[in-house]
Structure 1
């Protein structure tokens, strides 16, 4: 169990790095292939992983499959909202998703830290 928490904590740190990189590339409006890769990697994994990490899934493969499915679903819902409201601002939508995802990932990192024994 401790090993699983360590792996989840490391994954959360890596996904937080992707969140920060994505936010920086969008905010600085850098037009580079790295931005495309970072945004696709973020939208395909991070939001779903931030949500599924609160569910006690025993198999890592099920966690990742669920994370990708949830991420794609969240992206579709946000895109549909942008279309329905006639407010097509994809950069702002991705930044909003980054902030929400990062907050969940920070909470996950803080709650999965090893407890110090006095």
Structure 2
């Protein structure tokens, strides 16, 4: 159980870094091939993982498959909402998604910390 929480915490830290890097690249309007890659990683993993990790799934492969499917679904729904409302602002949507996902990931980092004194054993 402790090992699983450690892996979730490390994953949350990595995806939190992806969220932060995405916000920095977009806010400073840095046109680099890295930007497309980071946004792609964000939209194919982070939102779904941040949500699916609240569910106690025993198999890592099921967690990641579900995370990717949920992330892509969230991206499609957001894009559809922008099209239907005639408010096409993809950069704002990406930053908003990164911030919302980052908040959930920060919660995962906090809740998956080992109990105090567990590392001393």
Q: TM-score by structure 2 length? A: 0.96
TM-superposed deviation, 1:117: 3.8
TM-superposed deviation, 1:38: 0.2
Equivalent-residue separation in structure 1 for 2:63 and 2:44 (angstroms): 13
Q: Deviations over 1:48-89 (max 9, x none)?
A: 000001000000000000000000000000000000000000
Equivalent-residue separation in structure 2 for 1:83 and 1:15 (angstroms): 28
Count of aligned pairs: 118
SS of equivalent to 2:83: helix
State the structure with bigger RCO (CA 8 A, min sep 6), 1 or 2.
2
Unaligned runs of 5+ in 1: none
1:44 match: 44
SS of equivalent to 1:51: helix
Equivalent-residue separation in structure 2 for 1:91 and 1:18 (angstroms): 15
1:28 match: 28
Unaligned runs of 5+ in 2: none
**How much is the aligned-residue C-alpha RMSD, in angstroms?**
1.0
Q: TM-score by structure 1 length? A: 0.98
2:84 match: 84
Equivalences for 1:39-118 in 2 at 5 Å? 39-117=39-117
